Chain A
Amino acid sequence: MIWKILLFVLMTFVSIAGISFPIVEKPSNWYEFPLIPGLGENAKIIFFHVPTAWLTVVAFFMSFIFSIKYLKQKNHEYDVKAYVANQLGIIFCILATLTGAIWAKFAWGAFWSWDPRQTSIFALLLIYGAWFALRSSIDSDEKRATLSSVYSIIAFFTVPFFIFIMPRIMTGLHPGSADDDNLGPVINFKMNENMQLIFFLSLTAFSLLYFWMWNLGYKSILIKEKLIKKFER
């Protein structure tokens, strides 16, 4: 219960702070954000865009870990855990794509311009889609769990190419691209301390939300299956 209240307070604070704190040239009060050249008011979406993108990768990683565990022990519970992680992952992936597109409209002038980052988040969306398509095509439970685990592991090994390698060596608009002369990511260099604080609070709040949802999701599926077994007997 205390966790839920804490999460509620944290989420509300982050939302209020992220949306309503002013952006000024020379921040003097603790609640003022610095002006980042080229971004202006758009910079505020960073509190909601980056956590969703981060959770997309976290969900992917968790599904990878539970897939390995499933292949090792063939325990049905791990398959359910991987499934719920991917379910949440696709939601956050869509959110990251949408918030990114909205940000791109105001910062770069178009919703979609096939920047390497946009290509990589699109590829992640395709991987999630393919994973669910594969799952829905198999009837037998055990076969479905094994094959989707294998696909999840294979797909995870292509993710570093999308997330870490290609956006950094190809030219693009997103911070961190090969031709970015602004000395690396926005987080380290252009935010002041209170902006960083809000940013990492937002990251924590979204991560907590994710783990809570994931916990509820896989437990409810396991209970449902137990009940179905009980009433069939």
Chain B
Amino acid sequence: MKMFSRAYNLFIKDLRSELRTRYAINALIMFILVAISVILFSIGNEKIPPQLTAGLYWVVIFFSAMSGLSRAFVSEEEKGTTLTLQLVANADIVFSGKLLFNLSLTFFINLIITFLYAAFFEDFVINNFSLFLITFFFGNIGLAISSTIIASIIAKAGAKGTLYPVLSFPILLPLILTCVQLTIFCFDGINIENSVYELAIVISYDIVMITISYLLFDFIWKE
């Protein structure tokens, strides 16, 4: 319980420092708008099939995560506050705090993306809403976990911008491919019993990733 409250304190600290400048949130919202308008311009008046809509939806989610989620650790390195943080909290607490922050950021930006897709894309019609909610929930959790652990590697590696999507993409690929498949199922209105395998992949991916992240974060953080 004490660990959770300390992680929560770290999360509140990150949230405050973010709300003070609103740099990441503003940049991310603009990024989403730009990305979606580029897609809309390139589509023009063409009608695109639902499969493509599902793919494009996860493309925007992936790239907005890649542009926003690395800040949690990179900003600590930039400000030079990593050593202080190492003094006041141990690795598990730091990882939990950063993960909480990235989770809330992921859910926030992905809700915006979903809203914009529902508004602007004709074929974004969800015929199985409960399946979509489950996919959205577990997909976002997996995205946040993998992005957080890779962000901590990137922050230590010193190469900030370009390396992040390069390292994250192969790690996130099983999750994204399965989520695209599940989103197509949602559009087609396939019921949950017929998509158990895909849901099992997403959930087991989340469990594997969170376990391995807590095991390995200690080594990255002490480096």
Contact present for A137 and B158 (CB under 8 Å):
yes
Determine the chain B residues whose CB is within 8 A of the CB of A98 once the complex forms: none
**Count of residues in A whose CB is under 8 Å from the partner chain:** 31
Which of the candidate stretches A32-40, A126-134, A205-213 sits at the interface with the other chain? A126-134
Q: Which of B174, B181, B201, B220 contacts A147 (CB 8 A)?
A: B220
Complex: chain B residue closest to A170, CB-CB: B181
Once bound together, how far apart are the Cα atoms of A134 and B150, in whole Å? 11
B201, A165: Cβ atoms closer than 8 Å? yes
Interface residue stretch chosen among B12-20, B28-36, B205-213: B205-213
Residues in chain B near residue A155, CB distance under 8 A: 170-171
Complex: A158 Cα to B177 Cα, angstroms: 13
A159 vs B207: C-alpha distance when bound (angstroms): 15
CB contacts under 8 Å to A, within B16-68, are none
Name which residue of chain A comes closest to B153, CB basis. A147
In-complex Cβ contact of A161 among B153, B156, B201, B213 (8 A): B201
What 0/1 pattern do residues 156 to 183 of B give for CB contact below 8 A with A?
1111000100110111011001100100
CA distance A126 to B157 in the complex (A): 19
A153-B163 contact, Cβ under 8 Å, with A137-B158, A146-B219 = no
* Interface: B193 (CB within 8 A): no
Q: Tell me the minimal C-beta distance from A188 to chain B in angstroms.
A: 24
Q: Determine which residue in A126, A138, A151 has the highest number of CB atoms from chain B within 10 A of its CB, and name it.
A: A151
Nearest CB in chain B: distance from A165 CB, A: 6
Number of A-B contacts (CB under 8 A): 85
Determine whether the beta carbon of B170 is less than 8 Å from that of A147: no
Contacts of B208 in A (CB 8 A): 157
Give the distance to chain A from B119, nearest Cβ to Cβ, in Å.
30
A130 to chain B, nearest CB (A): 5
- Say yes or no: A150 contacts B177, CB within 8 Å: no
Determine if A123 is an interface residue (Cβ-Cβ < 8 Å): yes
User: Which of these, B156, B177, B220, B223, contacts A119 with CB under 8 Å?
Assistant: B177
CB of B209 within 8 A of CB of A123, answer no
How far, in Å, is A125 (CB) from chain B's closest CB?
9
Q: B197 on the interface (CB 8 Å rule)?
A: yes
In the complex the two chains form, is A161's CB within 8 Å of B220's CB?
no
Closest chain B residue, CB of each to CB of A145: B223
Interface positions, chain A 105-124, Cβ under 8 Å from B, are 119, 123-124
**Residues of chain A with a CB closer than 8 A to B167's CB:** 130, 133-134, 151
Q: Check B157–A134 contact: CB distance below 8 A.
A: yes
7 sampled A-B residue pairs with Cβ under 8 A: A71-B216, A119-B173, A130-B166, A137-B163, A146-B219, A150-B216, A161-B201
Which residues in A have some Cβ–Cβ distance to B below 8 Å? 71, 119, 123-124, 126-127, 129-130, 133-134, 137-139, 142-143, 146-147, 149-151, 153-155, 157-158, 161-162, 165-166, 169-170
List the 6 shortest-distance A-B pairs measured between CB atoms, nearest first. Answer: A161-B174, A137-B159, A126-B170, A127-B170, A169-B197, A130-B167
